[in-house]
Chains A and B, each alone.
Chain A
Amino acid sequence: GAVVSQHPSWVICKSGTSVKIECRSLDFQATTMFWYRQFPKQSLMLMATSNEGSKATYEQGVEKDKFLINHASLTLSTLTVTSAHPEDSSFYICSARDRAKEYQETQYFGPGTRLLVL
């Protein structure tokens, strides 16, 4: 149980295009999902917290107009990297909290999406 999927698993795009990454909780509902970014040989950095039915909360230094987050349902959050540039190339990971087990304070992580912007 508690499986989180991400799609696509990797994507290559041209500079200036927009890329949408999906994060789905497959066997549970998630009112809260998180988006992280991981650079090579570095740790995960929280970008934003996505709450179902409301606006995402962005961490300091993360451009909300650059990284659009939509959490339209209890099982799906999307991250859109708008007008992507080579410096946006990274490994993007989402996580989700089980709505029925929020007291456990456990996040379940997706497998990540590797983005390469040419």
Chain B
Amino acid sequence: AQSVTQPDIHITVSEGASLELRCNYSYGATPYLFWYVQSPGQGLQLLLKYFSGDTLVQGIKGFEAEFKRSQSSFNLRKPSVHWSDAAEYFCAVGLLSGGYQKVTFGIGTKLQVIP
């Protein structure tokens, strides 16, 4: 079964600093990979996704993620964090099963941005 590990439960960064959120997955083949953001009181919003092709994926809000097969990783990055980026971030992997995709989420990383 696929699994997703987000080793950092909570991260604090200064506004303007760079950010990297880690994500490792366990799956026999290359899965579909996603990053979602959840702001308080709101639903999950898709930041970016990787299915195939270029391993560096650009997303919304200035985020990017790089798929590294050798490390089974899909880390999320942003060069300069804004206060509005404070939220919880979920890495997810998708596995096609029965004609649709079943998504498994990581435990999430809560990002705090300080002035």
Contact = CB atoms under 8 A, between A and B. Distances in A.
A105 B44 contact: no
Contact of B100 (A49, A109, A110, A112): A49
Main secondary structure of the interface of B (DSSP, over half): strand
B27 interface: no
Nearest to A36: B105
A49 B100 CA distance: 9
Interface stretch (B15-23, B45-53, B56-64, B74-82): B45-53
Nearest to B36: A109
A51 to B, nearest CB: 8
A57 interface: yes
B42 A111 contact: yes
Contact of B90 (A34, A44, A45, A112): A44
Contacts of A69: none
A78 interface: no
Contacts of A107: 46, 101, 103
B115 interface: no
Interface of A: 4, 6, 32, 34, 42-46, 49, 57, 93, 95, 97, 105-112
Given A32-B100, A93-B43, 18 more contacts: A4-B43, A34-B103, A42-B107, A44-B44, A44-B105, A57-B98, A93-B44, A95-B44, A105-B32, A105-B94, A106-B46, A106-B49, A107-B101, A107-B103, A108-B46, A109-B45, A110-B43, A111-B43
